[in-house]
Structure formats: C-alpha cells, structure tokens
Homo-oligomer: A and B are copies of this chain.
Amino acid sequence: MRMGEGVEWGLHCCLTLAWLGDEHPVPTARLAAWFDLPPAYLTKRLQALVRAGVLTSTPGAKGGFRLGRAPERITLMDVVAAIEGTEEAFRCTEIRQRTEGAAAAGGDFRHACGVATAMRRAELAWRRELAAQTVADLMAAAPAGAAERTRRHYARG
C-alpha cells in the first residue's frame, strides 16, 4: 500500500502558507523552487486542495495561493482526502458472493462482509487520527527557527 508523494507536498505547502500568513498570495513557482519540486505538477496538486476549499487561488498578476481558512481548522484528513481522494484503501469486491453456487445454496449475504468491516474499522481509526491533527498543530511542533527562516526567505523577494 502506498500513498502518493503529493500528500507530503501538500502538507508542507500548507505549513509554509500558514507561516507566511495570507497578506500576499504565493505563486506555485515560488513554492516549487523553495522545495525543489516540478512546478507544473505541484500546481495540479494545489488545485486539488483549492477544489476542497483548503486553499484559495487568486488568478492574475501577483496572484497565487493562500490558505482557505485558519490553520486550526485545516485537519490532515482534509489535505489527504483532497489529494488522495476519499475512497477507502481496502475495497471489498465481495468475493464471498462469487463462491460457487452461492446464490443457489441460499447463503446469507444480508450481513456485511466480516472481512470488509474489520478492515474498515482499522481504516476508521486511521482517519480519526488524521482528523484530530491540524496544520496549527504542525506549526506548534516545528522547531523554533523554521517559521522565521521561511519568512525571511520569502521576504527577500
């Protein structure tokens, strides 16, 4: 099982945007250069965050991205869901119902598949943990100088 690296990009970008405040929007090219990422592809990922309302984009000259709402109200779940989608990692294909002559034998399939519910329970715990953490928490956990260093770099122009 693998999570795309877009999630890492998205989280770090949110963190950066949170530190910079939303006085001036930050263009994609700036963020891409800062993290050394492919600009065009990063744009695609940030656009996904815009669609989810996590970020807002302002077009035109001096445009760019800024946070869509306060860092305390952006959970990691929001970012992951926006970029990776809301589908569950485990997809039950109901192979129990494909068993030979299942219909004829009158199997009882009114109950949900036990395997699926077990996996879903685990995934729920994961989602709950993601929803419990916000971008503001990330800001608080970072070492003291990080925010300052970021701001200095972006102020330089």
Q: Which chain B residues lie closer than 8 Å to A133 at the CB level? A: 118, 121-122
> When the two chains form their complex, are residues B1 and A2 in contact, meaning their CB atoms are under 8 A apart?
yes
Copies, count? 2
> When the two chains form their complex, are residues A95 and B9 in contact, meaning their CB atoms are under 8 A apart?
yes
**With A34-B100, A96-B12, A115-B12 as contacts: A89 and B122 at CB distance below 8 Å:** no
**With A99-B35, A126-B123, A138-B114 as contacts: A143 and B108 at CB distance below 8 Å:** yes
A40 within 8 Å of B (CB atoms): no
Q: Which chain B residues lie closer than 8 Å to A1 at the CB level? A: 1-4, 84-85, 89
**With A89-B3, A93-B5 as contacts: A122 and B126 at CB distance below 8 Å:** yes
> When the two chains form their complex, are residues A98 and B36 in contact, meaning their CB atoms are under 8 A apart?
yes
A-B contacts, 14 of them at CB < 8 A, read A1-B89, A2-B87, A3-B91, A8-B90, A11-B115, A15-B114, A37-B95, A76-B118, A105-B153, A114-B138, A114-B141, A118-B133, A122-B127, A125-B126
